[in-house]
Amino acid sequence: MQETSGYDPNYVMGRSTAETDRLKRQSQLYDASTSQLLREAGLLPGMKVLDVGSGAGNVSFIAASLVGESGAIVGVDSNPAIVAEAASTARSLGLSQVSFRAGDISTIELERDFDAVIGRLVLIYVRDPAALVRQLLGHLKPDGIVAFQDLDWGEGPIADPPSLLLSQAWSTVKEMFRRAGLNNRMGLSLHGAFVAAGLPAPRMSLFAPAGGGADFDGYDYMASGLRSNLPHIVKLGVATEADLALDSFADRLRAEVVAMEGVFALPTFVSAWSRKQAG
């Protein structure tokens, strides 16, 4: 994987309580779509699966529920702290078929007999996603599955009526990715990355949780996403901590949307899946 100068996802995915809470909220909002991707891609009992950029292990644990006890999941992440956390969660869940290894996915030694290579929210941090996908094909059996899910920040938020605060937050994150030299449309770009890697054009689908009203989880999710990215937002000169006033962000967004009787969609996850051609 290429280095990501100016943007260190390992730092973003630190082990603070706030980050752990964010990951839990993200799981509740998005894991069903990841499960659907892995089913549609063809994960079956007994398969051996490589989870790229496995983070706290959520995607590996979803995959484990599909491959069962006769299968195996290997999660790889360059952040040793989060690998230790994922391994401890696997132990507490009794998932002995799931293991995690610390290392950079582009340099770590791995077997070449995987049935599937999967990953969520990892290619967006890579400077040349097609090159990485092409390299990962070397770990797959012929006809092996390739399934990735990534963010697409689109033109702006889907909201009715438009929310000024939401639009500002959206622009802030998009600009942060742009200044870091990363692709904030990685979700839809999965198509081009797969094809450039030599795969048949992927099947694709989109998912975004949406809601409104006082109890929607989306206000806190947007605030926690901004908080996780705050060091980069500030470092890259996109906004200051004072500009974002994160302590009150969720409440201000909730008040604005509820007052307008509005509804909005959270960032879109794009799923793409294909199979390595034999020969």
Ligand X SMILES: C[S@@+](CC[C@H](N)C(=O)[O-])C[C@H]1O[C@@H](n2cnc3c(N)ncnc32)[C@H](O)[C@@H]1O
Q: Which positions lie near ligand X, rule CB under 6 A?
A: 1, 9-10, 13, 53-56, 58-59, 76-79, 82, 104-106, 120-122, 125
Q: How far is the CB of 47 from ligand X (least distance, A)?
A: 18
Q: Which is nearer to ligand X, 105 or 239 (CB)?
A: 105
Rounded to an integer, what distance in angstroms lies between the CA atom of residue 58 and that of residue 149?
Answer: 13
Strand partners, 202: none
Q: How far is the CB of 248 from ligand X (least distance, A)?
A: 25
Q: How far is the CB of 135 from ligand X (least distance, A)?
A: 11
Angle, CA of 252, 258 and 155, to the nearest 5°: 75
DSSP state of 3: -
Q: How far is the CB of 251 from ligand X (least distance, A)?
A: 26
Q: Which residues contact 22 (CB under 8 A, 6 or more apart)?
A: 221, 224, 225, 227, 228
Q: Which is nearer to ligand X, 43 or 59 (CB)?
A: 59
Q: Is it true that the peptide bond before 161 is cis, omega within 30 degrees of 0?
A: yes
Alpha helices in 99-245 (DSSP H): 129-136, 164-179, 186-196, 218-235, 241-244
Q: How far is the CB of 111 from ligand X (least distance, A)?
A: 16
Q: Which is nearer to ligand X, 95 or 258 (CB)?
A: 95
Residue nearest to ligand X (CB): 55
Angle, CA of 118, 33 and 44, to the nearest 5°: 50
Rounded to an integer, what distance in angstroms lies between the CA atom of residue 19 and that of residue 57?
Answer: 14
Q: Which is nearer to ligand X, 74 or 76 (CB)?
A: 76
Q: Which is nearer to ligand X, 19 or 256 (CB)?
A: 19
Q: Token pair for residue 263?
A: 């509804």
